[in-house]
Each structure stands twice: as C-alpha cells, then as structure tokens.
C-alpha cells in the first residue's frame, strides 16, 4: 500500500522524517509526502470538504492507494477524522487541550487506526478500553490511548486477513506507545527494525501459467497466507538465484502448479530443492493441477508420490482446502503412491472487504 501524507500550515509537523519513520516501521505500506498544498475553510464536513479540494491535489492523490491530510481545522461533528473514498482528513483541533503528546505521535496513531480499519482488524468499541478500535466519545481518551496503543486480544483473535497488516499495525502502535510513555516525540525514538518476513508457501510455476497463479496468489493472501511469488519478492536488477535458495531453506511449504504448459525449465530444480527439505523436516510439497491442466498430467516420478490438489473441478472448494492446509501446518506426510487426484474438501472462505470504502471511516 502506498500512502501519501499532507499537512497544511495550521499544524507544526515535520512530514518528511515522519514518513521515512513510518515506512521503516510499517512493512505493509510505503509513505511519501505530497507535493501539493491545501487550504480548508473554518470547519470540515464529510464529504463536502473532501470533494472541494483542488484538482491538482486530487490528481496527485489518485496516484496513491490512500491519502491522509492533517490539519488543525475542526470537524463540524467534532470527529478526529473521516474518509471519503481513499481520502482521509485528520483534524488536530484543540490537540493541546487533550494531551501534551506531540502531533507526530497522533498522526502515527491515527495512521495505524486507518490501516486497521482498511484491513478489517476488529470492530469498534463504544467504551475506552485502550484498544486501537475504541470510539472516542470523550476525546480526552486519546492521551491514554496513545500511551496504551495496542490491539486487544478479541480484535486480533478474530482477524483472518493478511498477517503483515496486523504486524505493521502492532509495530506502529509499539512505536507510539514507547515514545508516548516517555513523553517523547516518536521522531526522537528509534523504530524497531522489522524482522525478515517468513513465508507460508512458495509458488512454483511455469511462467506461461502466470495469470492463473497470480489469481490464486491474490486469493491466498486475502485469506491470510504469506505467499512467495517471484514477481512480488525479487528486487529488480538483482540475481534471483540467491534469494530463491534462501526461500527454499526456510519456507514452510511449496505449491507446484501444473497447467496446460506442463513444468517450466526451472521447476524441476526448484522441486528437487524442496524435496530435499521435505525429507529433512517434512516440508510439504503440494502438486496443484490448474483448471487448464490436461486430463492425464505428465508429472515427474518424484512428484507422483505426492497427494495432488485438483483445481480442474470446483476450484474454489479446492482453494479453500489449500488455505486450511497452509494456515494449519504440518500436513500429513503422504504415504500413498497413487496418482489419483485428491478429492476436494469443503472450504471455509472469508469475503474480505474494505470498511473504509464501504461504510466510510470516522473516529470521534
């Protein structure tokens, strides 16, 4: 997610170092500072104020996934922020009356709240519990909230989306809490360096099957599975062999996709590397027959002993079974040498949606 930040001349905040800090802290988003300026009236109303911004600013906003505008101009309804589509205006009106903590801490806290709302992490609490999802009927609760700054066990436990989003929100909150408890600005506190991401599954495929694998990759990620797909994880202009070797050594499982084009020239080497890991630590290697795979796929001998996942019939149910297997490892070590495709099982799917775009986003 690419997020652009703006601040008008009503609040004192250093956006450039703040955006750099947020990017280093938050693994699931990149923050940049917008070039355009904006000026609001005497009060903010949603969506009228959001839609009255200049065409130049709207054009710049459209290049990003989310835009956050910060101001000291108050909302008519006294909210902290509201959204119109992917444009959010945060008001810090009367901030010094609510807390002694810096506005930069508040920006980071509200950014975490917005990301959590987009990602579907938990639901609103009417009472102030210290959780990020508290609705501030009493705005003075923001001071305690920034010092506590956490996602409660109930909200975290019911979350089934991308784990990186939840981890990013927690890192942002840790940063805010650590600085706020010391009465410090987050810009004066060193952010914790994110640990390298571990992946649930490596997606091994023939490049000619890339469109089908991209679609499956999207569905797996929306169900909370951490996927390793070459075009997403390999930096441009760098050798892919070392990174591939690193993934083979510590990835939890591999899916080997077989479509109408058969195995790619590099798939055999990748599969054999995973088979070595499989023998050493029971790392699952799952042959997946794509919907366009031939009736009798030509699989190498070393893949025929593995239990297949057949997506040629009822692909959604098959994907549901794959998600469950990858989210709840280890899989049983296959003992059968049968080449008969596995029967699909019932799936438990979750429709992901952005609460930001469906119901608007607001916090009082």
CATH classification of the domain holding 305:
3.40.50.10140
Same domain, 146 and 225: no
pTM of the full predicted structure? Answer: 0.57
CA distance 186 to 22: 10
**86 with 165, same domain?**
yes
Distance in angstroms (rounded) separating the CA atoms of residues 31 and 70: 14
Q: Which of 67, 76, 75, 108 is nearest to 92 (CA)?
A: 75
Tokens 């390793």: give the residue.
228
Residue 334 has pLDDT above 70, yes or no: no
Domain shared by 234 and 262, yes or no: yes
Statement to judge: residues 151 and 232 lie in one domain: no
Task: Measure the CA dihedral 68/71/73/77, to 10°.
Answer: 30
Both structure tokens of 129? 């519990």
What residue numbers bound the domain in which 323 lies? 201-327
Question: Please, which pLDDT band fits residue 7 given cuts at 50, 70 and 90?
Answer: very high
Which has the minimum average pLDDT: 173-187, 307-321, 328-342, 343-357? 343-357
Are both 138 and 29 inside the same structural domain? yes
What is the pairing mode between strands 362-363 and 309-310? unpaired
Residues 21 and 131 in one domain: yes
Residues 304-333: tens digit of each pLDDT: 777 888 898 888 888 888 988 887 765 444
81-84 and 362-363 strand pairing = antiparallel
344 belongs to a structural domain: no
Q: Are residues 155 and 224 in the same domain?
A: no
- CATH code, domain carrying 152: 3.40.390
Number of domains within the chain: 2
3-state secondary structure of 234: coil
Sign of the CA dihedral 222, 228, 231, 237?
Answer: positive
Residue 29: the pLDDT is 86
Q: Which residues contact 206 (CB under 8 A, 6 or more apart)?
A: 257, 258, 259, 261, 262, 263, 264, 267
User: Do 169 and 175 meet the contact criterion of CB atoms below 8 Å apart?
Assistant: no
């Amino acid at each position: 997610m690419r997020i652009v930040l703006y601040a008008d001349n009503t609040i004192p905040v250093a956006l450039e170092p703040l955006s750099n800090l947020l990017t280093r802290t938050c693994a699931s988003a990149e923050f940049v500072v917008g070039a355009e300026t904006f000026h609001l009236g005497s009060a903010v109303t949603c969506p009228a104020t959001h839609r009255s911004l200049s065409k130049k600013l709207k054009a710049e906003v459209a290049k990003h996934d989310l835009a956050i505008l910060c101001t000291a101009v108050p909302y008519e309804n006294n909210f902290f922020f509201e959204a119109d589509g992917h444009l959010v205006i945060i008001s810090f009106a009367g901030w010094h009356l609510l807390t002694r903590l810096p506005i930069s801490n508040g920006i980071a806290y509200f950014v975490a709240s917005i990301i959590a709302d987009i990602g579907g992490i938990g639901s609103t609490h009417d009472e102030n519990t210290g959780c990020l999802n508290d609705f501030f009927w009493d705005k003075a609760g923001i001071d305690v909230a920034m010092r506590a700054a956490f996602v409660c066990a109930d909200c975290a436990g019911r979350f089934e989306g991308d784990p990186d989003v939840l981890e990013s929100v927690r890192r942002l909150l840790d940063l805010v809490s650590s600085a706020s408890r010391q009465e410090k600005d987050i810009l004066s506190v060193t952010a914790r360096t994110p640990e390298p991401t571990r992946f649930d599954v490596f997606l091994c495929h023939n490049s000619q099957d890339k469109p089908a694998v991209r679609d499956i990759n999207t569905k797996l990620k929306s169900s909370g599975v951490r996927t390793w797909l070459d075009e997403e994880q390999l930096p441009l202009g760098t050798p892919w062999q070392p990174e591939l070797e690193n993934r083979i050594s510590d990835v939890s499982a591999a899916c080997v996709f077989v479509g109408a084009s058969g195995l790619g020239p590099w798939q055999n080497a990748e599969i054999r590397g995973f088979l070595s890991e499989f023998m050493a630590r029971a790392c699952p290697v799952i042959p997946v027959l794509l919907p366009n795979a031939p009736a009798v796929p030509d699989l190498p001998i070393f893949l025929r002993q593995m239990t297949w996942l057949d997506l040629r019939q009822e692909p959604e149910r098959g994907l549901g079974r794959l998600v469950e297997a990858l989210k709840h490892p280890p899989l049983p070590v296959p003992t059968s040498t049968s080449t008969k495709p596995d029967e699909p099982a019932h799936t438990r799917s979750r429709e992901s949606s952005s609460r930001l775009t469906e119901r608007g986003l607001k916090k009082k």
